[in-house]
């Protein structure tokens, strides 16, 4: 009798501790895609040691960190979890991109101010190669559109300038990890626009079409200048003053046409 009572109690205890409802999984839907829609690239503005401390025990985080010497790839947050790297942000109409992106930080000092302006620091060859390998894996697994590999400055142009004008966007695009305008097409469009610079409204519309969160005011306000500067730093890093010009217009038009 004691043995029977113990057996009954064991069965009841097992039933009570089983978790969740019984689920029928025989009808999976085909209507879904990856939670991860974007990859956002950053520089850390500090050393490897400080970067690791900030990203693991500070108020921010990222999924990956790429060191410099040697260019080690550190996995800090599982891709299924939300890392806190994007903050207030927008791209392709999506906002607050922490929930829909993978963040990659790269150890780099960023810049230092000098009497003649900002002095930007380059990325090492090892870092670039490590980033390419990592990005190819992420993009393949999550089916990410190349135009959705972006910089922090692209998604938060009023607040951020990383990964900066020395970031090798064209090299990534040559590897299928981003987009880049065809130089011949840009030259042709630029020649045709030489005597007819588009309006600010046109620039705002084209920037928004490319993915940037852009005011639609028809005025060259502070926000629009910041967005245009972020675009220029990405696609024409030799000059990113935030002023509308024919070359910027030609690049915008070619990129949106390539789309």
CA of 178: how far to CAs of 95, 148, 184, 248, in Å? 20, 7, 19, 18
Residues 91 and 148 sit within 8 Å (Cβ to Cβ): yes
For domain 38-174, the question of CATH label 1.10.3720.10 is answered with: no
With a cut of 70, say whether residue 8 has pLDDT above it.
no
CATH 3.40.80.10 residue spans of the chain = 38-174
H helix or E strand, kind and range, residue 230: helix 222-235
What b/e sequence results for 121-148 when a residue is b if at least 16 CB atoms lie within 10 Å of its CB, and e otherwise?
Answer: eebbeebbebbbebbeebbeebebebbb
Q: What is the pLDDT of residue 64?
A: 98
Confirm whether 105 is a catalytic residue. Answer: yes
Q: Tell me: the pLDDT tens digits for 74-100?
A: 999 999 999 999 999 999 999 999 999
CB atoms within 10 A of CB 79: 16
Give 258 or 231, the one with higher predicted confidence. 231
Q: Residues 220-247: what's their mean pLDDT?
A: 98
Q: What is the mean pLDDT of the chain?
A: 93
CATH 1.10.101.10 for domain 183-258: yes
The CA radius of gyration of the chain, in Å to the nearest whole number, is: 24
pLDDT number for residue 5: 59
Q: Which residue has the higher pLDDT, 257 or 15?
A: 257
Q: Does residue 2 carry a pLDDT above 60?
A: no
Q: 11 and 117 in contact (C-beta within 8 Å)?
A: no
| Residue 45 scores a pLDDT above 90 | yes
Res. 168 pLDDT band, cuts 50 70 90: very high
The predicted-structure confidence for 49-78, as pLDDT tens digits, reads as follows 999 999 999 999 999 999 998 999 999 999
What is the predicted pLDDT for the residue at 27? 85
Q: Tell me what pLDDT residue 28 has.
A: 87
Catalytic residue among 105, 175, 219, 238: 105
Residue 39 forms beta bridges with which residues? 102, 149
Q: Two tokens at 182?
A: 């065809």
Residue extent(s) of CATH 1.10.101.10 domains in the chain: 183-258
Q: What pLDDT is attached to residue 258? A: 87
């Amino acid at each position: 009798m004691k043995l029977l009572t113990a057996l009954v109690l064991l069965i009841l205890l097992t039933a009570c501790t089983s978790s969740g409802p019984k689920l029928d999984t025989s009808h999976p839907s085909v209507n879904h895609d990856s939670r991860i829609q974007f990859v956002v690239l950053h520089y850390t503005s500090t050393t490897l040691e400080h970067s690791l401390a900030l990203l693991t025990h500070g108020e921010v985080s990222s999924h990956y960190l790429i060191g410099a010497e040697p260019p080690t790839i550190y996995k800090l947050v599982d891709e299924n979890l939300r890392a806190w790297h994007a903050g207030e942000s927008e791209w392709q109409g999506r906002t607050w991109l922490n929930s829909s992106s993978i963040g990659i930080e790269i150890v780099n000092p960023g810049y230092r101010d000098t009497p003649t302006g900002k002095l930007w620091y380059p990325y090492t060859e090892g870092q670039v190669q490590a980033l390419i390998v990592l990005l190819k894996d992420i993009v393949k697994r999550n089916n990410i559109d190349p135009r959705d590999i972006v910089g922090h400055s692209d998604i938060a142009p009023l607040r951020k300038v990383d990964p900066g004008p020395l970031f090798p966007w064209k090299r990534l695009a040559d590897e299928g990890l981003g987009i880049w305008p065809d130089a011949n097409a840009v030259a042709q469009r630029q020649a045709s626009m030489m005597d007819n610079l588009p309006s600010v409204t046109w620039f705002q519309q084209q920037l928004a079409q490319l993915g940037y969160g852009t005011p639609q005011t028809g005025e060259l306000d502070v926000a629009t200048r910041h967005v245009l500067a972020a675009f220029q730093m990405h696609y024409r890093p030799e000059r990113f003053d935030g002023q509308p010009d024919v070359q910027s217009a030609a690049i915008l038009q070619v990129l949106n046409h390539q789309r």
